[in-house]
Amino acid sequence: MDVRLYHPDKDIWDFCNSGNHASWYASQSSDPSENFKKVTLYPALEFYFKAGGASVSFDAAPGQMTFARLGLWDAKPYMVIVRGESLNLQSEERKKINDQTDPTWPHVHARLNCSFNEFISVFPCNHILGVAGDYLDSLIYLCEISGITPVVLGDDGKKRIKPIWENV
């Protein structure tokens, strides 16, 4: 997803992409017909898709999410990890936010468990990965066994006890 827009007055991030989210996130249902009830297909914008196609438009269902992204610093990998949530906004507010980017794209209206300044000071790019649920501990463990430094944001990062090899 694109880290597209931040609304400081609401502490809401608008993560979207050019028609490229899994439709499962519309309702988070194992029944595709439930998810597709909330999906609208729009003709793809020629600026992004010269060959045509469709943008899969929806607002992600509310719930806890874990967001992450790999980066490189001094030729060494690190992963920024932050917990957050996809928000259930009123339809008027969703439309107003979506219209500021592209209303034909899928959107995740997110609140992250960290400050804006903390996020932008370490986040390595304008693309973020998100998954429904709490995968913080799993991602930290993956990083530790893979030799990747986990950079955990928010209160979770303050509570994390770093292994000795990260302190040497």
| Global pTM value | 0.92
From first to last of the 168 residues of the chain, give the pLDDT tens digit: 999 999 999 999 999 987 678 999 999 999 999 999 999 999 988 887 888 888 899 999 999 999 999 999 999 999 999 999 999 999 999 999 999 998 999 999 999 999 999 999 999 999 999 999 999 999 999 999 999 999 999 999 999 887 777 766
Asked if residues 132 and 122 have their Cβ atoms less than 8 Å apart, the reply is no
CATH number where 7 lies:
3.20.14.10
Q: What SS3 class is residue 72?
A: strand
For tokens 């990998």, what's the residue?
Answer: 77
Distance from the Cα of residue 153 to its chain's centroid: 14
* Domain span holding position 151: 2-167
Kindly state the helix (H) or strand (E) to which residue 167 belongs, with its residue range: helix 164-167
Please enumerate in sequence order all residues whose Cβ is within 8 A of that of 66, keeping only pairs 6 or more positions apart, or say none: 81, 82, 83, 84, 130, 131, 133, 134, 135, 136, 139
Euclidean distance between CA atoms 51 and 133, whole angstroms: 35
Please enumerate in sequence order all residues whose Cβ is within 8 A of that of 63, keeping only pairs 6 or more positions apart, or say none: 28, 85, 86, 132, 133
Query: Structurally, how many domains does the chain consist of?
Result: 1
Euclidean distance between CA atoms 148 and 153, whole angstroms: 16
